Structure 1
């Protein structure tokens, strides 16, 4: 399952951003050429993230379409199906652009209920000494 490799890449990016803080959600853009779905990536992510700061986190997946350019009629179209045919002429001689990116858009941290010496919870910069 190629989803495990994608899940590992997501976890690596999440851990770099989280810097040890617990993560509840991650929003990821994945190109249509990667052929992943949200349930598949969440299953793989749950298995990969066990024991990390992202254990139990949910991945919100935004699939980015691939651009199709038909060599027969010149039509261009966006598609979430990397095996699509030309919507104009039905041709299969297509050039494809994009749709293979993997981008971590954002992460949502868990709010700390108690941080010693910080009555506001975990809102500070972890790199700056208190």
Structure 2
């Protein structure tokens, strides 16, 4: 199950960006060529993140399509399925481009404990 390797890479990026702060959610762009199944990556991320700042964090995936160009007719299209045929002529002789991205788009921190430049702290409490 290659999702564990991908989950470990996501966790490393989350931990680096979180800088020791608890994370409750992470949003990740995943290319279609990686063929990541959302339930599987969620389970893998839950396992690899145990005992870390991302333990219990929700993982949201955004699947990025692959660009498919037909070698027969030259038609180009985007597809979420990397094993597709040309929609114009039906040929299976296609070239793919992109779709292998893995990008940590954002994280949501569980609670900020310090906000630089804000003497009231993170909740807006009066001093």
Is TM more than 0.5 here? yes
Could you state the TM-score of these two structures normalised by the residue count of structure 1?
A: 0.87
Q: 1:52 to 1:122 in 2, by over 3 A?
A: farther
CA-based RMSD of the aligned residues comes to: 1.8
5+ unaligned residues in a row in structure 2: which ranges?
Answer: none
Alignment of 1:96-115 (within 5 A): 96-112=96-112
Contact 1:37 1:61 in 2 (8 A): no
1:4 and 2:1 are equivalent in the alignment: no
Counterpart for residue 95 of structure 1: 95
5+ unaligned residues in a row in structure 1: which ranges?
Answer: 124-130
Quote how far apart the aligned CAs of 1:111 are.
Answer: 1.4
Q: Which runs of 4+ in 1 moved over 6 A?
A: none
Contact 1:4 1:44 in 2 (8 A): yes
Could you state the TM-score of these two structures normalised by the residue count of structure 2?
A: 0.89
Counterpart for residue 122 of structure 2: 121
Quote how far apart the aligned CAs of 1:119 are.
Answer: 5.0
